[in-house]
Chains A and B, each alone.
Chain A
Amino acid sequence: MAYLLQKYFFSYLTRPASIILLSLSLLLPQLSNAAVPQKHEDFPQGVSAVNPGSELWREVRQRDLPVTGVSQVKGVETGVLINPRGDQWARFRIENPVKYAPMVLGAVFLVLLLFFVMRGKVGIEGGMSGRMVKRFTDYERIVHWTLAIVFLFLAITGLILLLGRPLLIPLFGKEFFSLLASASKEGHNLFGPIFLVSLLMMLFSFMKRNIYEKGDLTWLLKGGGFIGDGHVSGGFFNMGEKTWYWMVILIGLAISISGLILVSPNFGQGRVVMEISHVVHVFGAIILTAVSIGHMYMGSIGSEGSLEGMKSGYVDINWVEAHHDRWAKECNENEQVVSAEEYARLQGRQPDKAMEKGA
């Protein structure tokens, strides 16, 4: 028994780091009591005294940079008793992403609202013909919507975690927010790797058609048709769509990798790596969320006929000629355009109803 005490208990007490920690743990409760000014009958105004604990902590902290000491505990940064960068990091997080994220997202909504008020839904000259061209396979649409669903879930839960404290606590109270935050955190961490898998599926299934080619720069210089005579030539994907694709892939990969570093802190990464990952993760996610709002707008209420491509896999030939004239030429040359009746049959609908819709 005495041997065991000697081996485990006393040997533990002789470790330098343990002595410091043990002393602090014994000292702290006393210090916290000492820090409260004691009222006394003879001194009704109270006695003000400098907290002696502040001197101790100043000694431990010593300077702005973290001081690495010696510890028997093996691990990353186990020799650092206090890291003053933690305070700086907390301030940075509150003063930057938490402050700017709502501003960026609010600005995007405002710009889109203004755009919609000014331009309305961008229509197709001559309207829809009813004659359709296959744009996306079932697999491509499944990959797109899988990524979209998972991304939306991550964006919502991520925003709850980032902005919940200042925005949701005043609305719903602390108790409800703690539930929401706990659920969001678990959901966010679990769905993160699913996002990475669907991102890789997106990378491989769409990459070939998103490589930049001759003519894309012209599209960019003409602002996608907003500058000049209004029409700009485009292939299967135009410059804007290709840029959005590469943004999703590259920023998505950055968010995924930084997220994996954050969610698995036991692989030897230190505080600095975690902080950098946090910055990359949060700012990447804000950028991707902001641009995805624009993508959702342009793919639905902003542009006539665009959503059909991701709904049925087919788009109207007039839409193709308006936005992707080089691809439209290929479709016409290769006789890939199907009639309204054939399209209705492929979609399992009555042809006359489809004709009415097309007309």
Chain B
Amino acid sequence: MIEYLIDGPLWYFSLAVFCIGVLWQLARIVFARSKTDLSVARGSATGGAWRNVFSRFVPHHEIAPQIRIQVVAGYLFHLGLFALLFFAAPHVLFLEENLLGFGWTPMPHWAFIVSAQFAFLGLIMLWLRRVVNPVSRLISTLDDHVAAILTFVVMLTGCFALLEGSTALRLLHRFTVEIWLIYFPFSALMHTFTFVPSRAFTGAWFGRRGIDA
């Protein structure tokens, strides 16, 4: 019964909430009304947008020493998670059989394990920085903590099910993924999709005013 629920209705429900929720949130951003900028343009908004999207991958030299651990842990976590999510053999097989109908070459098992280790280390350090640093702690909301802990739980149940020999452990992992998918569109996890338009918007604003930042 539980197996049927997790593999069937709950999976489709969570997937629907995720897709509709993400599209709805992106549509809200795209169609949001903003005041028309009547000032005389001092530079290119488009150029500023593109510049900002890419320049923010590297921290500004003036603040780099203060946020070094955040940058290193951030890259460890995000690159590790990306590799796990899209190139781990069980995930590639799952996406092929359940969603896409086609697959691609997965990474070798050792790379899968190393990616998971990077992702775990990065996530633990990022969350600790959020808690330990007074400024980060003050600007963090409950949602930030829930999003980090939920992502950690999903990764941990995935790690528990690595042997791929137990239906119960597989179901536990899938159940936590479904909870994560439902939570995703209404949380800070949306930054997966919004970081590019957010950077572009700020960059365009800067570019139009001739701000080099």
State the A residues within 8 Å of B (CB): 138-139, 141-142, 145-146, 149-150, 178-179, 182-183, 185-187, 190-191, 193-194, 197-198, 312-313, 346-348
Once the chains are docked, how many angstroms separate the CA of A178 from the CA of B160?
12
Most chain B C-beta atoms within 10 Å of own C-beta, residue among A145, A150, A185, A347: A145
Query: Which residues B154-183 have CB closer than 8 A to chain A?
Result: 156, 159-163, 165-166, 168-169
Q: A138-B132, A146-B128, A179-B169 are in contact. Are A190 and B159 (CB under 8 A)?
A: yes
Cross-chain contact B121 with A187 (CB below 8 angstroms): no
Chain B hits for A178, CB < 8 A? 166
Nearest A residue to B110, CB-CB = A264
Q: Is the CB of A141 within 8 A of B138?
A: no
Q: Are B134 and A139 in contact (CB under 8 A)?
A: no
Assess the B125–A142 pair: CB atoms within 8 A. yes
Bits for B111-153, please: 1 = Cβ < 8 Å to A, else 0. 0010011001100110011001111011000000000000000
Q: B22 → chain A, closest Cβ, in Å?
A: 30
Given contacts A145-B128, A194-B117, A347-B134, 13 further A-B contacts (CB under 8 A): A141-B132, A145-B132, A146-B121, A146-B124, A146-B125, A149-B124, A150-B124, A183-B160, A191-B117, A194-B121, A197-B121, A312-B134, A313-B132
A141 to B124, CA, bound (A): 12
Q: Pick the contact of B165: A182, A191, A348 (CB < 8 A).
A: A182
Q: Does B196 contact A (CB under 8 A)?
A: no
B69 within 8 A of A: yes
Contact flags B90-127 to A (C-beta < 8 A → 1, else 0): 00000000000000000000000100110011001100
User: Complex: how many Å from CA A190 to CA B112?
Assistant: 11
Q: A142-B128, A179-B168, A182-B165 are in contact. Are A190 and B134 (CB under 8 A)?
A: no
- Contact in complex: B160, A142 (CB < 8 Å): no
Q: Is the CB of B166 within 8 A of A182?
A: yes
Distance, CA A234 to CA B159, complexed state (A): 44
Query: How many angstroms from the CA of A138 to the CA of B70 in the assembled complex?
Result: 11
- B129–A186 CB distance below 8 A: no
User: Chain A residues near B113 (CB, 8 Å)?
Assistant: 190
Cβ contact of B169, chosen from A141, A146, A182, A348, cutoff 8 A: A182
Task: Give me the interface of B with A, judged by CB distance under 8 Å.
Answer: 69, 113, 116-117, 120-121, 124-125, 128-129, 132-135, 137-138, 156, 159-163, 165-166, 168-169
In the complex formed, the residue of A with least CB distance to B76 is: A197
A142-B69, A182-B163 given as contacts; is B120 within 8 A of A348 (CB)?
no
Once bound together, how far apart are the Cα atoms of A138 and B129, in whole Å? Answer: 7
**16 chain-A/chain-B pairs, Cβ below 8 angstroms:** A138-B133, A141-B132, A142-B69, A142-B125, A142-B129, A142-B132, A149-B128, A183-B161, A186-B159, A186-B160, A187-B159, A190-B113, A190-B117, A191-B117, A197-B117, A197-B121
List chain A residues, Cβ under 8 A from B137.
Answer: 348
A263 to B133, CA, bound (A): 36
- What is the CA–CA distance of A149 and B156 in the complex, to the nearest angstrom? 13
Instruction: Tell me whether B128 and A139 are in contact (CB under 8 A).
Output: no
Given A142-B128, A179-B168, A183-B169, A348:B162 Cβ within 8 A: no
Least CB distance from A226 to B in Å reads 32
Q: Closest 7 CB pairs between A and B?
A: A183-B160, A186-B162, A348-B138, A142-B128, A141-B132, A348-B134, A194-B121
Contact (Cβ within 8 A) A190 B121: no
Which residue of the partner chain A has the closest CB to B168?
A: A179
Decide: A187 and B160 in contact? CB cutoff 8 A: yes
Residue of B132, B135, B169 with most partner-chain A CB within 10 A = B132
Nearest Cβ distance between residue A252 and chain B, in whole angstroms? 16
**How close is A66's CB to chain B, nearest CB, in angstroms?**
30
User: With a CB–CB cut-off of 8 A, which chain B residues contact A348?
Assistant: 134-135, 137-138
Contacts of B138 in A (CB 8 A): 348
Q: How far is the CB of A358 from chain B (nearest CB, A)?
A: 17
CB closest residue in chain B, given A141: B132
A348 to B133, CA, bound (A): 10
Taking the closest CB of chain A, its distance from the CB of B156, in whole angstroms, is 7
Residue of B with least CB distance to A149: B124
Residues of chain B within 8 A (CB-CB) of A185 are: 163
Decide: B159 and A179 in contact? CB cutoff 8 A: no
Q: What CA separation (Å) do A198 and B133 show in the bound complex?
A: 19
The distance in angstroms between the C-alpha atoms of A348 and B140, with both chains bound, is 13
Shortest beta-carbon distance, B125 to chain A, in Å?
6
Minimum distance in angstroms from B164 CB to a CB of chain A: 10
- Closest A residue to B126 by beta carbon equals A142
Asked whether, in the complex, the Cβ of B156 is within 8 Å of the Cβ of A187, the reply is yes
Q: How far is the CA of A150 from the CA of B135 in the complex (A)?
A: 25
Given A139-B69, A179-B166, A194 and B120 contact (CB-CB distance below 8 Å):
yes
Distance of A178 Cα from B113 Cα, bound (Å): 22
